[in-house]
Amino acid sequence: MADINTLDQGAKILQNVDVSSIVTGLALGIADAQERLDNNSVSQLIRLSETKVAGKSLLEFGFQPAFYAFEYADVSASIQLKMAIKEEVEVDFSLAVDYQNNTTFDKDFFNRLERNKSKSLSKSSKTQKDFALQAKASKKISINESSFNAHEEEGSISKIKTAEEKIRDESKEIRVESIIDDETALTQTTNTNNVFIRKHDGYVVIVEPEINTQAIALLKMEQNYSATAVAINLNAKTNPGPDTFDKIDDFEQTLENAITGNDDADPGTTEKVIGINSLGIHRKVSSSITTTPYVFYFDWDKYKLIDFTYSQSVATNSLILEDVKLLAKALKNDSTLNITITGYTDGSGNSSDANNTYNEKLGTNRATSLMEEIKNHAGKDISSQVTIVTKGEQLAQGSSAKDASIRKVTVEFNTNSLFDYIYFEAGNISTGASTPNSNTSDSFVMKTATSTLTTRPDIIFIYGGNTVTFSDGSSTDLSATSLTQSQHYLHDFYIERYNDAYYLLHEEAYVNYFVHSKESKELDVEVDNVASAEMNKDTTKVYVGETQNDLSKLKQNSKDFEGDRSLAISGSLDVRYARQFGVSVEGNASVSARMISVPPPTGLENYIESLTGNSTSGN
């Protein structure tokens, strides 16, 4: 079927089917069955005649063999060939045909839908339902008993996140995944003043450079601590000399020394000295150094958008936004640093292979999501320094319980990247900071003076061939052209600030919602109180696919939306004979019949009557 491209090719397949052999085989089966029945009756007759009681055969005592015959038989053979000229789009066939006159949902839409679905987690679930609408479309959506107004929010993230929260039902095992369908090209993303612009998950993501009110620096140190102190300069003062601290003993003691050495004794200055190494992020809290391990937690069935509030609700010693920014600084400024991010899930769901596959991919997506968050704050692509690993539900150890403590990602420094780092902000640190010439293994990989940038830079990019400009003006300007507002709409984009980055969603972009469950169930969708089956498919702006599960999956090619939307060849043959027995086989052929008891042959009746003197006929 993979090489069929025309209607004629499909018709030739039907013409080459040998229907006569199918019918002949079934008819011979009926004849063979009748022969077996007749032979059985004759065998009975012989036994009755040979068995003697008091010198007489059982026939003489009135025993008779039973004879059977088929009252009628019906042999049917049907051949049906349905052909869809297809590439790779997996869409429900019957519903796709319904949209054939809708200019909104064209060939390209279904091509993109198939690509997005192939990336989604829903394909590993038993039941799937998908619908799509534009970001600017606000519709009342009902899924089974749950109703909500989709896309009422102005924020680019809230618009989709709220819809997901309304659809997802943990108690009923209803899950949802959204994928933004926007393949519009984003070009000329290079801006002055280190503005970072990229396209990610359908959003235009913009990260403005930090405006440093104080000097900052990042020191990289080899883990070669000893009892011999090595002085490290925090600045280049000449009178009376530079402020220093000693690298000595171990990392914790060295960090303590750095904190003391960087204190400029000015109560108006808030200094930061934070350690970064393979064990985590190290800060001085009260009188001791505390360590935050590289662990981040995810809510049930989620992986998109790093939610620090949720993670902190699971464990207060999990990563916070500042920690991720510090790790991003280390990766950005030290290309030799390589890390591994590992994603985990709990074991909720069933014990099937499909569920294991689902959780393996979910673990991968969670690890990737943290990498993308780090990438935002690095302001560059650090993917080559990151290895993504999934261990799925490994930590569940066979349990199917929902367990927030193991829905997480972890970060490890690779064995070739076992360095320690100290981040300095404000205090005595300056761009004059240095390490001894004799200590070539340690160095400041980043030193930045107080920022000369006093206003946020204009942000310019080209989206789909059109130049888009956001003029931020001063840092306090919340004018109509500013990006700095939390949620608003501007230049055909919905905008929202999230984790210190701006996410822009174009109003024309479609949002695909893949609703799914690991259980077999019906998912009914209504749009503005109209059932999807009753929607006017010619005019609707909301696409709703049919529920797909193990019993109903059809493939359809995007080419079916050009000209004649569906092509089907069907041929059938129904040949009726006189006899058939009571068995039916679903498939290309079937046989059915009724079998009845009939009198013995007339000659046999006369012979038995001569032996017994009695008639075998009934009254």
Residue 367 backbone phi and psi in degrees, to 5: -65, -40
Answer yes or no: is pLDDT of 268 > 60. Answer: yes
User: Cβ distance 496 to 503 under 8 Å?
Assistant: yes
Q: What is the SS3 assignment for 194?
A: helix
Query: What is the distance, to the nearest Å, from the Cα of residue 174 to the centroid of all Cα atoms in its chain?
Result: 14
Angle CA 380–375–389, to nearest 5 = 125
Name, in order, each residue with C-beta under 8 angstroms of 101's C-beta and a sequence gap of 6 or more. Answer: 537, 538
pLDDT, residue 547, reads 84
Domains of the chain: 7-83+570-612 (no CATH), 93-182+509-567 (no CATH), 187-200+458-506 (no CATH), 212-278+419-452 (no CATH), 293-417 (3.30.1330.60)
pLDDT, residue 22, reads 66
pLDDT, residue 475, reads 45
Least confident of 207-216, 324-333, 416-425, 590-599: 590-599
Least confident of 30-34, 160-164, 279-283, 385-389: 30-34
DSSP bridge partners of 197: 206
Token couple for 432 = 């004059």
Q: How far is CA 313 from CA 86, 296, 320, in A?
A: 49, 11, 11
Instruction: Sort 218 into a burial class: Cβ within 10 Å, 0-12 / 13-18 / 19+.
Output: buried
Q: Whose CA is closest to 146, among 471, 576, 524, 532?
A: 524
What tens digit of pLDDT does each residue of 51-102 get?
888 778 877 777 778 777 776 666 666 655 555 444 333 334 334 556 767 7
- What is the pLDDT of the chain when averaged over all its residues? 81
Q: What is the SS3 assignment for 455?
A: coil
pLDDT, residue 396, reads 92
Say whether pTM exceeds 0.85. no
Residues 434-450, mean pLDDT to the nearest whole number:
87
User: Cβ distance 552 to 383 under 8 Å?
Assistant: no
Q: Whose CA is closest to 219, among 254, 243, 169?
A: 254
Higher pLDDT, 427 or 612: 427
Answer yes or no: is pLDDT of 181 > 90. Answer: yes
Higher pLDDT, 208 or 572: 208
User: Cβ distance 308 to 321 under 8 Å?
Assistant: yes
Least confident of 100-109, 326-335, 424-433, 499-508: 100-109
pLDDT, residue 162, reads 94
pLDDT, residue 98, reads 65
pLDDT band at 590 (very low <50, low <70, confident <90, very high): low
